[in-house]
Amino acid sequence: MKRSEQGVSLIEAMIAILLALFVMTSLGGVVFMATAQNKNQGVEMSRVTVYAQDKIETLMNLDWFGCTASTPDAGCNTTGITATAWNQGLKTGGTLDSSEGCPSSGTSVGYIDFLDSGGNQYTGADCSVVGAFAYQRQWQITDVIASGAGAPGLKRIDVIVWSKNAVNTGSAPPSAMLTTYLSE
């Protein structure tokens, strides 16, 4: 009995190499996209967390008595928008919905601000200065214990930040929500 001593032809070898090259290229693209998306999500999550912490620290540094009054002091506006209705300070109010854009009325007025891609807050006389923003911050202030009759007050501050410029976000943009309590 004679063994078959046939080898692989040059055409068969080239087809096998091309098929392997095609599979490797396809897998490389998938791996690259997954890596880029994970990196983007990680960077965006870090940024929205930092921006939420920054807003909490800004609100916690406000004067309790001057910024909880029915008409807060001028230094209580942390939104960057100088219109009268935007001076809310630490007054109870705000909402945490993800409505895009600058509100002209409703519960978000004075409890929302916008950041550019570098994290700089948009400022101006009204919402027309906002334009295309990269990050949106909203906060809600709740009275846990109302101050008065000699008892100290306690407020809950919730801040949520959405990234509007993240790529490949799927159904929802990256966001972070932080909560803290502030007593007088």
DSSP string of the chain, one letter each residue: -PPP-----HHHHHHHHHHHHHHHHHHHHHHHHHHHHHHHHHHHHHHHHHHHHHHHHHHHTS-HHHHSSSS--GGG--SSB-SGGG--TT-SEE------S--SSSTTTTSEEEE-TTSPBP-BSSGGG--S-SEEEEEEEEEEE--BTTBPPEEEEEEEEEESS-SS-TTS--EEEEEEEEE-
Give pTM, 2 decimals: 0.75
pLDDT tens digit string along 46-102? Answer: 899 999 999 999 999 998 888 888 778 878 889 888 887 888 889 998 988 877 677
